[in-house]
């Protein structure tokens, strides 16, 4: 029943989103409340939010597949899957943000080596292939099992997605296969690390390289992007696993590790944010100051204090600390959820405040038009399309989660060092259940 409601809701939201997308494609960018001076808005916020989620999730997966954090093995596929779907969501947001989305292919054909965005788009595509490859590798045994054991849609899916791969019937064959997987996953993971860093650090650089926007124009920005990606990725996985992951003996341990990671990332993130603000406020470049003021005390204040500081930092820290005392998995999950939502605030405050002040003082008064202002609030179409895209991606993710062996117990474990010996996790308190 609950599930049905859940799907109906998602379908409705997706439907509304599709309608809004229709409007957007029919009428072009005029449906937004963006302006020629405030040129990026909600869609770009979600774009970097999802790219961040993707990069963060992926990096989490590399902890498992590259750095062998076995404690997190359970969530390896989940991380990869969320990396994939987040990326898709992110790309959909870039696409609808283009004035001429039908020309997206230009990015592949016409090159400008000095454009970070240009590089990023290539990165994204490679990165998608990589995530897909990795995902397939780690799931192929389960897919094979699905193909052979299941009937109906799962069986068909298994047949298609396994791409003809079948788990060897023999122990030894299986071991060999497992080894291959392990090796390839590791290789892909190693390639993937710089790629994920590139994906999101690079996304940060899209902003950081802009001398026109002092608010962005600092080398710390790409790093903040990466760290906050890690925050959001681990938060998402924590949330998903806590709420939807099968309850078993391992779960509390996994969650404990995850939440520890999360806290650490949040900590680093906070330090960086403070550094950025201190430096910005100290150097006092007027345009920068206006942006920072807007964030700390201006129109973006509530988003900063409630979203960025409250939801994305303090609340998760409190929840996780509490959960360590009472051992509640739910609280950890909530901490994850809160962080994920809070990260949206972080993304908003990364993008929008850069536009609050004119490049040349009084420019906004020189020629007055509703599209020539330094203020912005998303239009209904922007909001509805965003909800729609998110609903669609959640829907697809949910279906994948249901149909695919995302959290599986197929028995194959990666070899190598055990989690216990991995420094990050050992410090965390273990569960008491």
Residue ranges that bind other proteins, judged by CB under 8 A: 22-23, 26-37, 39-40, 94, 97-118, 121-122, 125, 206, 209-213, 354-355, 358-363, 365-373, 377, 379-381
Q: How far is the CB of 73 from other proteins (least distance, A)?
A: 34
Q: How far is the CB of 273 from other proteins (least distance, A)?
A: 21
Q: How far is the CB of 288 from other proteins (least distance, A)?
A: 13
Q: How far is the CB of 134 from other proteins (least distance, A)?
A: 20
Question: What are the structure tokens assigned to 157, written together?
Answer: 């899916």
Question: Cβ(258)–Cβ(317) under 8 Å?
Answer: no
Q: Tokens 């080894």: give the residue.
A: 179
Nearer to other proteins, 32 or 62 (CB): 32
Question: What are the structure tokens assigned to 44, written together?
Answer: 């770009």
Nearer to other proteins, 80 or 209 (CB): 209
Q: How far is the CB of 351 from other proteins (least distance, A)?
A: 9
Q: How far is CA 126 from the centre of its chain?
A: 17
Nearer to other proteins, 211 or 249 (CB): 211
**Residue 288 parent element (H or E):** helix 286-296
Sign of CA pseudo-dihedral 294, 388, 152, 155: negative
Q: How far is the CB of 28 from other proteins (least distance, A)?
A: 4
Nearer to other proteins, 216 or 239 (CB): 216
Question: What are the structure tokens assigned to 399, written together?
Answer: 């279906």
∠ at Cα 371 (369, 377), nearest 5°? Answer: 125
Question: Cβ(163)–Cβ(139) under 8 Å?
Answer: no
Nearer to other proteins, 305 or 374 (CB): 374
**Distance separating alpha carbons of residues 89 and 344, to the nearest angstrom:** 14
**Distance separating alpha carbons of residues 314 and 146, to the nearest angstrom:** 43
**Which residues, other chains included, contact 243 with Cβ-Cβ below 8 Å and sequence gap of 6+?**
330, 333, 337
| Radius of gyration, alpha carbons of the chain | 22
Q: How far is the CB of 104 from other proteins (least distance, A)?
A: 7
Question: Cβ(375)–Cβ(353) under 8 Å?
Answer: no
Q: How far is the CB of 219 from other proteins (least distance, A)?
A: 16
**Which residues, other chains included, contact 259 with Cβ-Cβ below 8 Å and sequence gap of 6+?**
238, 320, 323, 324, 332, 335, 336, 428
Question: Cβ(25)–Cβ(101) under 8 Å?
Answer: yes
Q: How far is the CB of 22 from other proteins (least distance, A)?
A: 6
Q: What is the DSSP string of 324-352?
A: HHH--HHHHHHHHHHHHHHHHHHHHHHHG
**Distance separating alpha carbons of residues 97 and 295, to the nearest angstrom:** 24
Nearer to other proteins, 210 or 430 (CB): 210
Nearer to other proteins, 20 or 87 (CB): 20
Question: Cβ(395)–Cβ(7) under 8 Å?
Answer: yes
Q: How far is the CB of 362 from other proteins (least distance, A)?
A: 5
Nearer to other proteins, 19 or 184 (CB): 19
Q: How far is the CB of 20 from other proteins (least distance, A)?
A: 10
Q: What is the DSSP string of 86-118?
A: HHHHHHHHHHHHSSSGGGTTHHHHS--TT-HHH
Nearer to other proteins, 35 or 234 (CB): 35
Nearer to other proteins, 110 or 282 (CB): 110
For the beta carbon of residue 173, count every other beta carbon within 10 angstroms.
12
Nearer to other proteins, 4 or 365 (CB): 365
């Amino acid at each position: 029943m609950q599930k049905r409601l859940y799907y109906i809701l998602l379908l409705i939201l997706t439907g509304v989103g599709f309608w809004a997308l229709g409007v957007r494609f029919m009428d072009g960018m005029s449906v937004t409340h963006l302006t020629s001076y405030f040129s990026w808005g909600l869609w770009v916020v979600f774009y970097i939010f999802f790219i961040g989620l993707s990069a963060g999730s992926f990096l989490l997966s590399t902890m498992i597949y590259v750095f062998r954090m076995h404690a997190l093995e359970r969530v390896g596929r989940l991380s990869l899957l969320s990396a994939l779907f987040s990326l898709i969501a992110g790309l959909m947001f870039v696409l609808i943000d283009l004035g001429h989305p039908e020309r997206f292919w230009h990015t592949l054909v016409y090159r400008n080596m000095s454009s970070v965005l240009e590089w990023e788009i290539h990165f994204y595509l490679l990165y998608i292939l990589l995530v897909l490859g990795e995902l397939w590798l780690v799931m192929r045994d389960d897919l094979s099992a699905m193909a052979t054991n299941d009937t109906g849609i799962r069986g068909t899916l298994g047949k298609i997605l396994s791409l003809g791969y079948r788990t060897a019937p023999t122990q030894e064959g299986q071991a060999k296969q497992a080894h291959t997987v392990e090796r390839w996953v590791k290789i892909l993971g190693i390639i993937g690390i710089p790629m994920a860093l590139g994906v999101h650090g690079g996304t940060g650089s899209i902003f950081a390289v802009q001398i026109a926007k002092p608010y962005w124009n600092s080398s710390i920005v790409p790093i903040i992007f990466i760290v906050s990606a890690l925050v959001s990725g681990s938060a998402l996985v924590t949330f998903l696993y806590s709420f939807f992951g099968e309850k078993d003996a391992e779960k509390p341990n996994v969650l404990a590790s995850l939440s520890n990671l999360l806290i650490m990332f949040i900590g680093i993130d906070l330090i960086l944010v403070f550094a950025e603000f201190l430096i910005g406020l100290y150097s006092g470049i007027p345009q920068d100051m206006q942006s920072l003021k807007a964030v700390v005390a201006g129109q973006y204040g509530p988003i900063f204090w409630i979203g960025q500081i409250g939801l994305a930092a303090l609340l998760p820290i409190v929840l996780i600390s509490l959960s360590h005392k009472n051992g509640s998995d739910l609280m950890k999950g909530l901490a994850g959820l809160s962080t994920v939502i809070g990260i949206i605030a972080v993304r908003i405050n990364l993008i929008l405040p850069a536009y609050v002040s004119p490049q040349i003082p009084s420019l906004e008064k020189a020629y007055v038009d509703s599209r020539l202002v330094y203020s912005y609030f998303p239009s209904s179409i922007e909001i509805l399309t965003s909800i729609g895209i998110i609903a669609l991606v959640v829907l697809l993710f949910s279906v994948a989660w249901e149909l695919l062996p995302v959290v599986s117990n197929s028995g194959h474990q990666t070899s190598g060092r055990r989690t216990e010996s991995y420094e990050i996790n050992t410090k965390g308190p273990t569960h008491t259940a």
